[in-house]
Amino acid sequence: MAIDPFMVGVARLRRQLGATAPVDVAALFDPDGHLAPISPGESYVPVGDEVHFGGILESIPKGIVASGLVEARWRGECRRCAGDVGGSIAVDVRERFIEGADPEVDDAYPLDDDMVDLGPMIRDAVVLELPLAPLCAEDCRGLCVQCGSDLNEGPCGCEAPVDPRWATLDVLRDPEGG
Ligand SMILES: [Zn+2]
Ligand SMILES: [Zn+2]
């Protein structure tokens, strides 16, 4: 049976309060496919991509504190031109793992049998950092609303849309129209 790299034994660390140990783990972000992208336009960690956590674990009463840096890559779709866009995330985390904790109420992750599962902390941190509406570039010109051409590749030749307020004036001025 494969061992989850995010499961870390802390029995030895917990023998002495205040003791610290380095931690450096990497594992698949979404091994079960549960976090796969829900809809186009959102960003996601590519299936098969690993996320990384490097930091320290410190022994505290009833548990440990994990602090360090979570790193991942993401991909998505530009919200203006729908082109591929990607980037990386690097976010500092500092979270407690406490015996019998319930993450819903305790503001801490659980610690059971002197094992901590760093996975939920790491995945939560990544999900919070994923851009909601990514852009391929700050000045992406997007797609022409009339013909759909990618305006980053140059002008499409469409006439600028007529402002409806001026369209009314055009009708008034048109000798045949009025
Ligand atoms: Zn774009
Ligand atoms: Zn156009």
How many Å lie between the centroid of ligand 1 and the Cα of residue 126? 23
How many Å lie between the centroid of ligand 1 and the Cα of residue 140? 5
- pLDDT value for 15: 95
pTM confidence score: 0.79
Q: What is the pLDDT of residues 34-62, one digit of tens each?
A: 766 555 557 888 888 999 999 999 999 99
- pLDDT value for 176: 54
Residue 173 three-state SS = helix
Residue type, 91: V
- pLDDT value for 48: 86
Q: Contact, 81 vs 144, CB < 8 A?
A: no
Domain edges within the chain = 7-129, 141-178
Q: Give me the residues of the chain with pLDDT under 70, please.
A: 1-2, 35-41, 161-178
Ligand nearest to the CA of 159: 2
Query: In angstroms, what is the C-alpha Rg of the chain?
Result: 26
Surrounding ion ligand 2 within 5 Å at CB are 144, 146-147, 149, 156, 158
Distance (Å, whole) CA 127 – CA 65 = 21
